[in-house]
Amino acid sequence: MSRRVVFPLKVKLIMIMVGLLISSISFYAIFALNLFEKDKSAYIYGNSNEANISFSQSAINYLNSSFERLHILSFIPTHQLKDVLSNYSDVYHLEIKSSSDDKNTFYNLNQIEKDGISKDEYKTIVDSFDTGSLNGFKIFKDEMISFLILKYENIQKGVTLTISLSTEELDRILMSFSQYKSNIYNLDGSLFYSKDENTTSYITDINKSKLDEATIDVDSENPRILSFKIDSKYNLIFTTEILKSEAYKVNDYLIGKSKVFGLVILSLSIFIALLFSRSLTQSLEKLYNFTLSISKGEFNQNVEIKSRDEIGALGDSINFMSKEIVRYMSEMKEKARLENEIETARYVQSTYFPEELIESHNHSIASFYKPASECGGDWWGFIENEDRLCIVITDATGHGVPAALLTATAHCCIENLKQVGGDDLKSPAKILEFMNSSIQCLDGKMLMTAFCCVLDKESGRAFYSNASHNPPLYRGVIYDETKKNNFKPLLGKTGPRLGHKEFGNYVDESIPLNEIERILFFTDGILESKNSENKEYGQRRFLKSLNKYGMRNNKGFIDSIVEESFLFYGDCPIDDDVTLLSVSMKNSGELKMVDLNNKEIEKKIKENISFSSDIFIRDTPINKDGSFYLSSKSDQENIEILMNNPKINHLVGANSANIVEELLLNINNYKRNMSLGEYLDEYRFHTTNVHSKEDFDKINNLLGTLDVDGYFESPIDYLKIISNELLTNAIYHSGEGDVFTERSSMQRKSTPVLTDLESVDYTLAVGHENIAICVTDFTGKLSRDIIIENLERSFREREHQSKNGGAGLGLFLAFSYANQLIVRTTPGKCTEVICIIEKNKRFKMYKERITSFHYFEEKDVV
Amino acid sequence: MSEGLKINTGNENGNLVVTFSGLIDEDSNFSSLENKLIGNVIFDFEEVSLINSCGIREWVTFLESVDKGVTLTYRNCRQIIIEQVNMVHGFIRDGAQIESFYAPYYCEDCDQEHKIHLNVSDVKDGQAPVLKCPKCKTADLEFDAIEEQYFQFIK
């Protein structure tokens, strides 16, 4: 189900919008206000500076004009001065002193009395002021009166003028910049003139600036802006100062207003964001709730979104999806019902097929079936009784359920015939006719090819009849690997497909049963299926595969063919159903076991040997396990036959004086691994261990004492050569790994010395009818392939090999001088090589004897 | 170890006669004949008891070392030698010839096998000569081998 919503989209949107607004407004405010403040500061500082300049200039102008007035007065005759001075309202008094020290003083009583003091009081004040030491100008100020005294000496006229002026003009100048506090200081920082006695000169800050004129920040406790100008003519410092808070009052007011405005905008934005997010999330909530309903299986609902944006489109899409889900679910229900029915049909059809591997007394049936879809149109079945095996294979037109239903009909036909078939089971044509009549009820709408084969043991023939099916392929008992193709089709008259015509008029064909080793029935699916390159598997590849695996047992044969074909198809699905079944005959009864041209020997063998079903005695080579080949060919030809028929392990010289006994011994050996003692009969003569070539003398001496009465002259020479060669091979091919390699390639003039565990057993046995030599090594390296390849090379080249180690002729000499060569190998453990020379008075007969070869390979020593 | 091969040399009408006795095998040493084989040389195998597969190789190697100008004649070849000559190429080199050999004969009357010494010239058209039994003196001996096979060396 859905997760719990703890952080709604609405909150996210509001947070994003508010965050964006706050950050943008803050950025703007900081940036803009900073600029505004800088600009305002420049303006304030500039104004302060200009005010100071104006102030200082006004004061200086006043001083200049006052001195110019004194200069002019110095030229006016004394008697006229009084009248002139009466026009000057700001003058308190004027003193003119000549160079002769004559002094005239003029008092402006109007001005003096204006300040509320008498002339005498004034004179007392002035007299207390030492004007003699005055140099230039000075301010006098007390509680009663204040005035500016200026002293001017006109050297040309020889007079010195001292005048006291009202400070009203200075006050006016000081007050002309009301927002500023203006002061005049002496250069030492002492106050020259100010309206406020409690002023600070900030001379330290001024001096620190090292400038004559500037505007600076002073007083960290009460920050203020100070503009100053140093006048070098009058040695005065003119200052104007203002508290920063006063100067920035407007600025702070504006910033405060801006903040309020920003907050108003922010609040408004949040309100708008709330409205917007609500309209957005309301639709989403609707969709969310709708999907919850869908997840609960409530598909028959609609969600109504009125907005004409993407969310509205999403709502329409979800509504459509909901309707489609309802429709799809309905279809799925129907599909599931059909699949269930098909699965049931597939299961029912699978019960019509026999098991994949059937082993009966007389036959082995291995099969493979793979439908192209759930159900197939192929089918096969069988009926078996003591005397015969009836096989039917069918292929309905198409595949799938309709074809499967047709196979059900075929299956029912065979089941019915099983019960009531009687003699009809002897005739494949009648079986097909019966099936045809059953399928007729479909009015030719569905057809089926079929092939029926009856393997009739009673008559010794294989009967078959074909209803337009692929002819099965059979392989004869003689398998010739040199031939390109060992499989033949079961050909004959072909009838119509089942269901095609009212009467099929099928015909029985037949071939001798004993000509058949196995029959492969198949449908055309394996041939017609294609690979990714759109190439059909085809008959050529199919036949090649049959011949390649034709020697395998029935199941291995089918498995290999199927594997190879499906390797070819790769990932491509098969186009048609694939059905294959291989029926092989199990030879039973003496007739099938021995089949020789020489009926006399055949009879003799039958009389003396009790067979099991896995032994075959033939005078033609059958490349099959359990095959005993009676050969009349030369030794060299026989080796070639053994080379070309790797499954023939037993070749008996047809001119053996005692074929039956040799066969009996070797068949018994084949069946139950006889001990060597049983093999060589009871007259064991001597057994000894051989460690090196040093021991050969004692073997030769032993052979020298052998009683060979009844043999041709000097069989001992041959026995010595055989012993020498077999022992040499065993000694020089002993050991493991590097030891084996070293000994094998060792120069034969040197001899390895075997340990007791490695030593070779040598047994010489003399029986009534033969002398046998048995050499046993304990490496188990001598395989059939090595023996046959060595003999084949030796017979072909008839030369020694130019290589390190042996001459490569030892086995060749042993084989050539022995009448029977018997090898029993347990790979990796031991090998017994037995050479038998049969009792024979005549050397010619000894030489004419076709050498027998028997090879046994045991999996392990028991 | 084997009984070994003994080699004796002699002179016969100016020809070198080399007599081998014992077993020809991998231990056989023919070095005593180095530089002695010139002109016509007769190999006498009368006393050779056996020859094994490695002996064949040693013999073939020895023959390859003999100067091509030397004319070789094989004399008194025992049956075991003849069989080797027939079975394995190289035992007798091109140009060499077998002068005499032993062949198996059988007397039905005596029920006995005889090894008869024959000259190659006795064999006409691949047929063994008809001989009387050296023991009973009356019965004809029967050649006791496959003539086509046994006289291969003469071809």
Give me the pLDDT at residue A859, please: 66
- Tell me if A365 sits within 8 A of A337, measured CB to CB: no
Within 8 A of A812 by CB-CB distance, chain B residues are: 53, 87
Rounded CA gap, A754 and A734, in Å?
A: 8
Q: Is the pLDDT of residue A256 over 90?
A: no
* Contacts with B2 from chain A: Cβ below 8 Å: 693, 696-697
The pLDDT of residue A589: 39
Contact yes or no for B113 and A724 at CB 8 A:
no
Domain B5-98: which topology? Transcription Regulator spoIIAA (3.30.750)
B144: closest chain A residue by CA: A844
Contacts of B149 in chain A (CB under 8 A): 847
How close, in Å, is residue B8 to chain A by CA atoms?
22
Percent above pLDDT 90 for chain A: 34
Q: Report CB contact under 8 Å: A816, B87.
A: yes
Q: What are phi and psi of A433, to 5 degrees?
A: -60, -40
Inter-chain residue contact B56 with A816, CB threshold 8 Å: no
Which residues of A410-497 form beta strands (DSSP E)? 448-456, 461-467, 473-475, 487-489
Q: State the Cα–Cα distance between residues A794 and A813, nearest whole angstrom.
A: 9
Q: Is there a contact between B53 and A844 if contact means CB atoms under 8 Å apart?
A: no
Instruction: Determine the Cα angle at A604 with ends A602 and A610, to 5°.
Output: 90
Paired tokens of B31: 């070095």
Is the model more confident about A608 or about A765? A765
For the residues A515-538, what does the mean pLDDT come to? 90
Read off the pLDDT of residues A547-596 as tens digits, 9 standing for 90 and up: 888 777 788 899 999 999 999 999 999 988 999 999 988 754 333 577 78
Whether the pLDDT of residue A862 is over 60: the answer is no
Pick out chain B residues at pLDDT < 50.
1
Contact A573, A372 (CB under 8 A): yes
- Axis crossing angle, helix A310-350 with helix A401-420, rounded to the nearest 10: 10
- Candidate from A123-137, A490-504, A788-802, B102-116 with smallest mean pLDDT: A123-137
Does residue A411 carry a pLDDT above 70?
yes
| Alpha carbons A704 and A720: distance in angstroms, whole number | 9
CA distance B72 to B43: 7
Rounded mean pLDDT, A807-836? 92
Lowest mean pLDDT among A79-88, A89-98, A701-710: A79-88
**Residue A620: predicted pLDDT:** 86
Percent of chain A with pLDDT over 70: 95
Residue type, A10: K
A452-470 pLDDT per residue, tens: 999 998 888 899 999 999 9
- Give chain A's mean pLDDT: 86
Distance in Å, alpha carbon of A828 to nearest chain B alpha carbon? 26
- For the residues A333-348, what does the mean pLDDT come to? 87
Query: CA nearest A847 in B: which residue?
Result: B145
d(CA A247, CA A259): 20
Q: Which residues contact A354 (CB under 8 A, 6 or more apart)?
A: A365, A367, A380, A381, A382
8 Å CB contact of A841 and B111? yes
Q: Report pLDDT digits (tens) over A771-818.
A: 999 999 999 999 999 999 999 999 999 888 877 788 889 999 999 999
Checking if the pLDDT of A304 tops 60, the result is: yes
| Min distance B127 CA to chain A CA atoms (Å) | 15
Determine, for residues A798 and B60 on separate chains, whether the beta-carbon distance falls below 8 Å: no
CA distance B61 to chain A (A): 10
- For testing the chain A interface, which of B51, B54, B115 should be mutated: the one with the most A CBs within 10 Å? B54
Identify the pLDDT of residue A775.
93
Q: Can you give the pLDDT at residue B1? A: 45
Examine the pLDDT at A324 and tell me if it is beyond 90.
no
Q: Which of B53, B88, B113 sits opposite A843 (nearest CB)?
A: B113
Q: Which of A19-23, A59-63, A248-252, A403-407 has the highest mean pLDDT?
A: A59-63
Is the pLDDT confidence value at A135 over 80? no
Q: Return d(Cα A448, Cα A435) in angstroms, integer.
A: 10
- By Cβ distance, the residue of B1, B52, B146 closest to A844 is B146
Q: Which chain B residue has the Cα nearest residue A806?
A: B54
B51 chain-A contacts, CB cut-off 8 A = 721
> When comparing pLDDT for A640 and A612, which is higher?
A640
User: Which is more confidently placed, A354 or A553?
Assistant: A354
**In this predicted structure, what is the pLDDT of residue A290?**
85
Instruction: Average the pLDDT over A673-702 and give the result.
Output: 78
Å from A800 to nearest chain B CA?
6
Measure Cα distances from A63 to A68, A69, A126, A152, A173 in Å.
Answer: 9, 10, 20, 12, 12
pLDDT surpassing 80 at residue A391: yes
Q: How far is B113 from chain A (nearest CA, A)?
A: 6
CB contact under 8 A, B53 and A847: no
A767–chain B nearest CA distance, Å: 21
> How close B26 comes to chain A (CA, Å)?
6
Chain B residues with CB-CB distance to A under 8 A? 1-3, 25-27, 49-54, 56-57, 60, 79-80, 87-90, 104, 106, 111, 113-115, 143-146, 149
- Residue spans of the domains in chain B: they are 5-98
DSSP string of A140-192, one letter each residue: EE-SS-EEEEEEEEETTTTEEEEEEEETHHHHHHHHTSTTSEEEEEETTS-EE
Bridge partner residues of A771 (DSSP): A766, A837
User: Tell me: the pLDDT tens digits for A595-608?
Assistant: 788 888 888 887 77
| Nearest residue, CB atoms, B144 vs list A696, A806, A844 | A844
This prediction has a pTM of: 0.47
**A chain contacts of residue B56, beta-carbon cutoff 8 Å:** 800, 807, 809
* Interatomic CA distance for residues A294 and A606, integer angstroms: 86
Q: For A540-551, what is the mean pLDDT?
A: 85
Q: Which residues of A touch B60 (CB under 8 A)?
A: 800
Largest CA distance in chain B: 51
Residue A98 forms beta bridges with which residues?
A159
Contact A724 B26 (CB under 8 A): no
What ipTM, to 2 d.p.? 0.88
User: What separation, in Å, do the N-terminal and C-terminal C-alpha atoms of chain B show?
Assistant: 37
Would you state the pLDDT for residue A591? 38
**Nearest-neighbour CA in chain A from B143: distance (Å):** 8
Q: Do A813 and B89 touch (CB under 8 A)?
A: no
pLDDT surpassing 90 at residue A662? no
Residue A807 to residue B57, Cβ atoms within 8 A: yes
CA A267 to chain centre: 55
The per-residue pLDDT for A2 is 54
